[in-house]
């Protein structure tokens, strides 16, 4: 399928079962100011006579200009460029042996969802078809509150500890002096952070540039806790396998497409839903009994590693379908928020140090970027239940609590605690606090899985991987940075390193 030069040919609203609410939001009648007063002239500013200067008493002019200046909120620092759609998750397998979450309690049960795809490093106006991980942020509107699963289209990540995340992102963003992304910064950090070798091998392989959002897999990436009614604990990883099949772009195809249609991915998603071609994903989980974690051959909470399928085979549990486009991109896509701290009963965090950092960072980012009441915007608020809190006031507060008391406990019928935690305590850790390194398991190595991935590839895939890596590494200005980067791949696989070294040398002369 060619998506080069595609354009929107489907009339707005042509998709089946579309919530056609545009007209309902704009009533007929005179144009008014924000305060509801009728507008006599929306074409001409008020002036001191014909051709004279504009008057400050023209409050319609000032109101419109002031609102226009404030129509945007800060873009996301990461994952700024994205597109989203509403959908439905349908449970197809009984998973009550592992979790007590109600939205996972009955085969055939459906839950409304909102899924946002994104690139990671680019700004809001950047192109879609670039070599970059894709965010896969999924909100389940469950009857026990919203559950957010914030992942990527890769099962691993570049680092394993959140304390390194600001440094990592600084290397991917614009250099403070040049204002551009610099190969020196990228490869200097990756070379000095060998745990990135596995993810970099993913990124520069064939799946580094998906053909569209519909043709990529999604992963929860982190390890999460599931706990059942009996209190038993299981560690879980999520997989969303595209039913459309994996399709990718070569570097040359992506460069051309980015110039012809920088909105290619979001356009493809929107138009597919408009014509009733609803994309879907088969949902799988890997399950590890809690008591196996401490003695597993590598740290199961290490975000730079996968659980091999021969150890923990994926189990199919459901199907995710996207079937409705947002009505307003700003209100529903830009103002949407996702946080891995949004859990429901029966699901919780793991000791994954990257996940632990994200539990704070995501919510904090949304409070800064959208506002302290961002959770109560229409796209973010719970739909199958209601939020009952004692939080009041602040920007965007809608007064929904009326005169109710704003403290707990109280004697006036206010919301009360349940005394039942959403997840179980994690056992088996020493009580002492400090800046500990992760516990060492038998195969806690930064290169084993990158080498395994390389050896799984066909010869053509290996050649493209080496070509993609060499083209970027060759841009660095210092030989030691290039050599350090190559050495990490050499440690993953001798042939990998040898071929990469030769390719880089050829390009650098």
pLDDT per residue over 242-265, tens digit each?
999 999 999 999 999 999 999 999
- Residue 63 parent element (H or E): helix 59-69
d(CA 227, CA 239): 19
Please write the tens of the pLDDT for every residue from 118-172: 999 999 999 999 999 999 999 999 999 999 999 999 999 999 999 999 999 999 9
- Angle (nearest 5°) at CA 216 between 210 and 221: 115
For residues 204 and 497, the answer to whether their CB atoms sit within 8 Å is: no
| Predicted pLDDT of residue 431 | 62
| CA–CA separation, 121 and 109 (whole Å) | 36
Q: Check pLDDT > 70 for residue 9.
A: no
CB 150 within 8 A of CB 338: yes
C-alpha to C-alpha distance for 35 and 37, rounded to whole angstroms: 6
Q: What percent of the chain has pLDDT over 90?
A: 78
CA dist., res. 116 & res. 337, Å (int): 10
- What is the 8-class DSSP label of residue 330? I
Average pLDDT of span 355-382: 94
Determine the length of the chain: 509
Is residue 5 pLDDT above 60, yes or no? no
pLDDT at position 26 is 59
Asked if 396 contacts 374 with a C-beta cutoff of 8 angstroms, the reply is yes
Residue 22: pLDDT band (50, 70, 90) is: very low
Q: What is the pLDDT of residue 10?
A: 34
Tokens of residue 329, six digits: 């991109």
Query: In whole numbers, what is the pLDDT of the chain averaged over residues?
Result: 91
Q: Which of 66-70, 343-347, 353-357 has the lowest mean pLDDT?
A: 66-70
pLDDT tens by residue, 420-465: 889 898 776 666 667 778 888 988 899 999 999 999 999 999 999 9
- Regarding beta strands 110-119 and 82-91, do their DSSP bridges make them parallel or antiparallel, or are they unpaired? antiparallel
Cα 418 to Cα 144: distance, rounded to the nearest angstrom: 12
> Which residues are within 8 A (CB) of 258 and not within 5 positions of it... i.e. 6 or more apart?
127, 128, 129, 130, 264
Closest C-alpha to 379, from 170, 163, 85: 85
Token representation of residue 310: 């021969």
User: Are 64 and 39 contacting, i.e. CB atoms less than 8 angstroms apart?
Assistant: no
- pTM for this one? 0.89
CA geometry: angle 386, 285, 138, nearest 5 deg: 40
Find the range with the poorest average confidence among 2-11, 73-82, 104-113, 359-368: 2-11
What pLDDT band is residue 12 in, cutting at 50, 70 and 90? very low
User: What stretch of H or E contains 467?
Assistant: helix 459-473
The answer to whether 128 touches 262, Cβ cutoff 8 Å, is: yes
Q: Do β-strands 347-348 and 218-219 pair in parallel, antiparallel, or remain unpaired? A: unpaired
What angle do helix axes 165-172 and 183-192 make, rounded to 10 degrees?
A: 150
Residue 471 DSSP label: H
Nearest to 235 by CA among 168, 294, 170: 294
Enzyme catalytic residues: 79, 152
Nearest of 355, 357, 353 to residue 429 by alpha carbon: 353
Q: Cβ distance 150 to 340 under 8 Å?
A: yes
Question: Rg of the chain's alpha carbons, rounded to an integer?
Answer: 25
Per-residue pLDDT reduced to its tens digit, 323-336: 999 999 999 999 99
Instruction: Tell me the mean pLDDT in the region 318-347.
Output: 97
Which stretches of 382-456 are assigned E, i.e. beta strand? none
Could you tell me where the beta strands, DSSP code E, fall in 153-294? 218-219, 224-227, 233-242, 280-289
Tell me which DSSP letter residue 248 carries. Answer: B
pLDDT score for 17: 45
pLDDT over 60 (residue 282): yes
Distances (CA, A) of 22 to 83, 136, 273: 20, 28, 18
Alpha helices per DSSP H over 13-155: 22-25, 59-69
Confidence of residue 23 (pLDDT cuts 50, 70, 90): very low
pLDDT of residue 19: 45
- pLDDT at res. 3: 29
Distance of alpha carbon 281 from alpha carbon 283, whole angstroms? 6
Per-residue pLDDT at 429: 64
Instruction: Give the pair of three-digit tokens for residue 28.
Output: 């007929």
d(Cα 450, Cα 491) in Å, to the nearest integer? Answer: 9
What average pLDDT does this structure show over 307-332?
98
């Amino acid at each position: 399928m060619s998506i080069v030069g595609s354009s929107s040919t489907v009339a707005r609203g042509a998709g089946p079962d579309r919530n056609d609410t545009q007209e309902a939001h704009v009533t007929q009648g005179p144009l008014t100011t924000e305060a509801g007063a009728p507008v006599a002239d929306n074409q001409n500013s008020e002036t001191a006579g014909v051709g004279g200067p504009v008057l400050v008493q023209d409050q319609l002019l000032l109101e419109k200009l002031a609102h226009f200046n404030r129509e945007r909120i800060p873009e996301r620092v990461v994952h700024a460029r994205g597109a989203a759609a509403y959908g439905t998750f349908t449970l197809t397998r009984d998973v009550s042996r592992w979790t007590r979450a109600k939205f996972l309690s009955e085969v055939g049960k459906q839950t409304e969802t909102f899924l946002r795809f994104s690139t990671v490093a680019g700004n809001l106006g950047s192109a879609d078809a670039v070599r970059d991980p894709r965010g896969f942020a999924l909100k389940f509107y469950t009857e026990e509150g919203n559950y957010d699963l914030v992942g990527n289209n890769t099962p691993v990540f570049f680092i394993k500890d959140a304390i390194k995340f600001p440094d990592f992102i600084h290397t991917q963003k614009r250099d403070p002096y040049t204002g551009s992304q610099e190969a020196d910064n990228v490869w200097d950090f990756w070379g000095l952070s060998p745990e990135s070798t596995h993810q970099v091998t993913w990124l520069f392989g064939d799946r580094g540039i998906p053909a569209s959002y519909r043709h990529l897999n999604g992963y929860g990436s982190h390890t999460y806790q599931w706990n059942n009614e009996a209190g038993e604990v299981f560690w879980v990883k999520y997989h969303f396998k595209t039913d459309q099949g994996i399709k990718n772009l070569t570097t040359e195809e992506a460069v051309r497409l980015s110039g012809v249609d920088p909105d290619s991915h979001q356009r493809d998603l929107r138009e597919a839903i408009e014509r009733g071609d609803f994309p879907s994903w088969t949902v799988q989980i890997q399950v590890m009994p809690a008591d196996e974690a401490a003695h597993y051959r590598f740290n199961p909470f290490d975000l730079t590693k996968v659980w091999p399928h021969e150890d923990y085979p994926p189990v199919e549990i459901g199907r995710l379908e996207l079937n409705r486009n947002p009505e307003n991109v700003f209100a529903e896509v830009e103002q949407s928020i996702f946080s891995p701290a949004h859990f429901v009963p029966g699901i919780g965090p793991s000791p994954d140090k990257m996940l632990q950092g994200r539990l704070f960072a995501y919510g904090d980012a949304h409070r800064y970027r959208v506002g302290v009441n961002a959770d109560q915007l229409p796209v973010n608020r719970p739909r199958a239940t209601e939020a009952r809190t004692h939080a009041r006031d602040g920007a965007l507060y809608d007064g929904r609590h009326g005169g109710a008391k704003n403290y707990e406990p109280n004697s006036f019928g206010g919301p009360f605690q349940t005394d039942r935690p959403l997840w179980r305590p994690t056992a088996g850790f020493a009580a002492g606090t400090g800046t500990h390194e992760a516990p060492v398991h038998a195969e806690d190595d930064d290169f084993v899985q990158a080498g395994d991935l390389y050896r799984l590839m066909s010869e053509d895939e290996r050649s493209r991987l080496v070509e993609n890596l060499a083209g970027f590494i060759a841009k660095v200005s210092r030989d030691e940075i290039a050599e350090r980067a190559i050495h990490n791949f050499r440690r993953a696989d001798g042939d990998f390193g040898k071929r990469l070294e030769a390719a880089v040398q050829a390009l650098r002369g």
